[in-house]
Structure 1
Amino acid sequence: MQIRSKLPAVGTTVFSVIGDLAERHQAVNLAQARPIFRVHPN
């Protein structure tokens, strides 16, 4: 069974733009609730 994407022609999203900007400026991206840096497993 193959599932087709409901968003095939969306292109760039605000999440990818903000994520790229946060990474470029070494900032924490709070919009996606996940760190863009490595976290120690301890």
Structure 2
Amino acid sequence: MALIPQSFISDLLNRVDIVDVVGKHVKLKKAGANYQGLCP
């Protein structure tokens, strides 16, 4: 199995708001400075 280069992951995280992406599939709740969600 090929590994995803760290540079690609870093670039992706800089371009996309992970809360928006995950929030489309999992109900997220604000928990201090972070968000929490239950595993489906």
TM-score scaled by length of structure 1: 0.31
More strand by share: 2
Please tell me whether Structure 1 or Structure 2 has the larger radius of gyration of its CA atoms.
1
TM-score (norm 2): 0.32
Give the helix-richer structure, 1 or 2.
2
